[in-house]
A and B are shown apart, each in its own frame.
Chain A
Amino acid sequence: MNADEAALSVRALSVEFATREGPVRAVRDVALDVYAGRTLAILGESGSGKSVTALTIMGLLDSPPARVTSGSIMFEGADLVTATERTRMRVNGEGIAMVFQDALSALNPVYTVGNQISELLRVRRGLSRAAARAQAIELMERVRIPAAARRVDDYPHQFSGGMRQRIMIALAVALDPRVLIADEPTTALDVTVQAQIMELLTELRRENGMGLVLITHDLGVVAEVADDVTVMYSGRIVERGTVEELFQRPAHPYTRGLLRSMPRPDRQDDELWAIPGAPPSSLHAPGGCPFHPRCDAAVDRCRSDQPEFELIAAGRGSACHRSQEVFDGRA
């Protein structure tokens, strides 16, 4: 396989939820490329469609109410949108794995953590009971759980939040997946533990050569660990680029606003600036550009015309009528 080829390629993905108030278009026309050994951050406020995108890639949304209305998710030559249950079961865990926000609820409370890891290895790798247990301990050591050999027989609730997240990461990398999706993996943790978990994920990505998709609303995390960034707003992608370029020269007023609201040690602002207003609900998204009520660069046509996502430079794209002006610092 070509080294430049994306390990996971999402195109024109749209996902709708059937609700009592009508269809909710949670994800619209999303495109992503995940490359081996690189970290792609999906950045966006709460409700922007990040989790729905991830859950659709994993095939975890119940249908109904969720429905993929268009698009493809290409992985190892197969389109996961139309794949059979059998393909899905093989890809999940072995091809693509996922780390959830809340590890306590994502681990089964009635089994010991060792049991959960070794069960996976026995079923999927055909390991014997003893070999699976040994490898479970090894995995727990790899995610740096102290005294792994002793703690292997503990239940999830006996671990702290950070340690539980490590166990979920151990489960996720147990089958050596090519792509790991981490959906706000550190939101529930305190700051020092957050940094450790991010470091662990980055390290595993490097050692295993995985593509890492990091879903977050934290610009600081993006700056620290991401290679590429995709910014989502109201279910759509509004901007894309490498982390350096995007931080240097945003091409979308929303990204620019996010960067401006980021706390910076070199500036002594007393108060943090924030983008005014709140993100729209996916049920009552405004016409035209969904960001226009909050945009400081909005012009008349923003209220009526939906901007298309367009390339503005190599590897850079933005969905804004004035992206070139924003990019050039003229708007």
Chain B
Amino acid sequence: MSAPIPESTRTATAPSRTGGLRRFVAQPTGALSLTVLLVFVVTGVFGPLFVDRPGGLGSEILQAPSSAHWFGTDDLGQDVFAQVVWGTRVSLTVGAAASGLAILIGTALGLMGAYSRRADAWITTVTDLMLSLPLLPLMIIVTAVAGPSILTLTVVIGLFSWPEVTRLIRSNGMVVVAMPYIDGARALGAGGWRIVTREVLPAVVPLVVVSVLLTAARAVISEAGLSFLGLGDPDSWSWGRIMLNAQRSGVLSTAWWQTLFPSLAILLLVLAATVAGVRFNDSRDPRLKDR
């Protein structure tokens, strides 16, 4: 019998849950982008409770921004601030839902491609094909055929946004699949499903978080683009529709406030989501510990 020999151990700090968030906001970019995102979410969720739904005809048409109308008014006398607030809800909903759909499809296909050579052959082909297609015209056609609505927008944007996610998850998943501990798991009888869900997925989860943010940012842009082209939901406000109205009523060049504020909203949201995504990535990277 061999006696238990105490061997030296390194006391490393185990990963903690709250430490991640603290590291994330430790940098001004992290704190700032998170704040901006939170402001948008709060505006989207609670804003419409405090701001009347824009509608009808007002007497004060095409007013420049003032204390009464912070973002000015349009050619029907409606308050642009109210439109932006109500639009926030739709833009965020479509962005989040479409991104969720894209992440679901993209992660599933990416993991399949990373693990199974056979599946990978066609997943890579389809992904490359999708990435090479001109997406905007395709989205326009599909949306037009399916009939514009929030649901259509969400599904169309989601179905066209997964290839980037697939590519990211697949390439990183392949690195994990090649790790010796995957062979260790297979030597103990783990099958494909267990390996993918227990060994590979947890390793790519941080990337999934990053892609959620980046895909949502892209989805918001797509949503605004389609709405601006008149393919948005005609019954609800969105940032794209505000700009479309300005264009339709021919005030695009004069009533600058009608396009500036929705554009600013898009820009801010996309910027914040992108910065947050990059920052999240950095805060997870042990090589950049002190950043």
Give the chain A neighbours of B9 by CB distance below 8 A.
154, 158-160, 163
Known: A94-B189, A97-B187. A160 touches B181 (CB 8 A): no
Contact between chains at A146 and B202 (CB < 8 Å): no
Q: Which residues 155-178 of A have a CB within 8 angstroms of B? A: 155, 157-160, 162-163, 168, 171-172, 175
Give the chain B neighbours of A145 by CB distance below 8 A.
4
8 Å CB contact of B2 from A92, A123, A144: A144
A94-110 interface code vs B (CB 8 A; 1 in, 0 out)? 10011010100111111
Interface status of A58 (Cβ within 8 A of chain B): yes
In the complex, what's the smallest C-beta–C-beta distance from B175 to chain A, in angstroms?
A: 13
Contact between chains at A158 and B183 (CB < 8 Å): no
Cα A211 to Cα B190 with chains together (Å): 22
- Dominant secondary structure of chain B at its interface with chain A: loop
Contact between chains at B184 and A93 (CB < 8 Å): no
Known: A146-B4, A146-B6, A163-B7. A93 touches B187 (CB 8 A): yes
Q: Which residues 70-127 of A have a CB within 8 angstroms of B? A: 85, 88-94, 97-98, 100, 102, 105-110, 119-120, 123-124
Q: Which residues 145-159 of B have a CB within 8 angstroms of A? A: none
Give the chain B neighbours of A120 by CB distance below 8 A.
188
8 Å CB contact of A158 from B12, B180, B188: B12
Q: Which residues 162-199 of B have a CB within 8 angstroms of A? A: 179-181, 183-191, 194, 198-199
Known: A159-B9, A203-B1. A105 touches B190 (CB 8 A): no
Q: Which residues 5-39 of B have a CB within 8 angstroms of A? A: 5-12, 14-15
Give the chain A neighbours of B198 by CB distance below 8 A.
119
Cα A91 to Cα B187 with chains together (Å): 9
Interface status of A60 (Cβ within 8 A of chain B): yes
Please name the residue on chain A nearest to B202 by beta carbon: A110
Interface status of B131 (Cβ within 8 A of chain A): no
In the complex, what's the smallest C-beta–C-beta distance from A126 to chain B, in angstroms?
A: 14
Interface status of A281 (Cβ within 8 A of chain B): no
A193-221 interface code vs B (CB 8 A; 1 in, 0 out)? 10110011001000000000000000000
Known: A107-B181, A107-B184, A144-B2. A91 touches B189 (CB 8 A): yes
Contact between chains at B184 and A123 (CB < 8 Å): no
Which of the listed residues A92, A145, A200 has the most CB atoms from chain B within 10 Å of its own CB? A92
Known: A92-B188, A199-B2. A155 touches B12 (CB 8 A): yes
Contact between chains at B5 and A196 (CB < 8 Å): yes
Interface status of B104 (Cβ within 8 A of chain A): no
Contact between chains at B11 and A158 (CB < 8 Å): yes
Give the chain B neighbours of A60 by CB distance below 8 A.
183, 186-187
Please name the residue on chain B nearest to A164 by beta carbon: B7
In the complex, what's the smallest C-beta–C-beta distance from A189 to chain B, in angstroms?
A: 10
Give the chain B neighbours of A199 by CB distance below 8 A.
2
Which of the listed residues B8, B179, B183, B199 has the most CB atoms from chain A within 10 Å of its own CB? B183
Interface status of B203 (Cβ within 8 A of chain A): yes
Which of the listed residues A105, A195, A199 has the most CB atoms from chain B within 10 Å of its own CB? A105
Give the chain B neighbours of A158 by CB distance below 8 A.
9-12
Contact between chains at B181 and A58 (CB < 8 Å): no
In the complex, what's the smallest C-beta–C-beta distance from B6 to chain A, in angstroms?
A: 5
Contact between chains at A200 and B2 (CB < 8 Å): yes
Give the chain A neighbours of B117 by CB distance below 8 A.
62
In the complex, what's the smallest C-beta–C-beta distance from B186 to chain A, in angstroms?
A: 6
Q: Which residues 75-107 of B have a CB within 8 angstroms of A? A: none
Please name the residue on chain A nearest to B183 by beta carbon: A60
Please name the residue on chain B nearest to A94 by beta carbon: B189
Known: A92-B187, A92-B189, A157-B12. A100 touches B2 (CB 8 A): no
Known: A110-B202, A146-B4. A89 touches B190 (CB 8 A): yes
In the complex, what's the smallest C-beta–C-beta distance from A55 to chain B, in angstroms?
A: 8
Please name the residue on chain A nearest to B3 by beta carbon: A144
Contact between chains at A160 and B7 (CB < 8 Å): yes
Cα A325 to Cα B4 with chains together (Å): 48
In the complex, what's the smallest C-beta–C-beta distance from B90 to chain A, in angstroms?
A: 39
Cα A154 to Cα B4 with chains together (Å): 18
Give the chain B neighbours of A105 by CB distance below 8 A.
179-181
8 Å CB contact of A100 from B8, B10, B180, B202: B180
Cα A92 to Cα B179 with chains together (Å): 19
Cα A160 to Cα B4 with chains together (Å): 13
Q: Please provide the 10 A-B residue pairs with the shortest distance between their CB atoms, ordered closest to farther.
A: A93-B189, A160-B7, A92-B189, A106-B184, A105-B180, A93-B188, A146-B4, A98-B187, A196-B2, A108-B181
Some 17 contacts from A to B, beta carbons below 8 A apart, are A85-B191, A89-B189, A90-B189, A93-B188, A100-B180, A106-B183, A110-B15, A110-B202, A144-B2, A154-B9, A158-B12, A160-B8, A162-B7, A163-B7, A163-B9, A193-B5, A193-B7
Q: Which A residues are closer than 8 A to B by beta carbons?
A: 55, 58-60, 62, 85, 88-94, 97-98, 100, 102, 105-110, 119-120, 123-124, 144-146, 154-155, 157-160, 162-163, 168, 171-172, 175, 193, 195-196, 199-200, 203
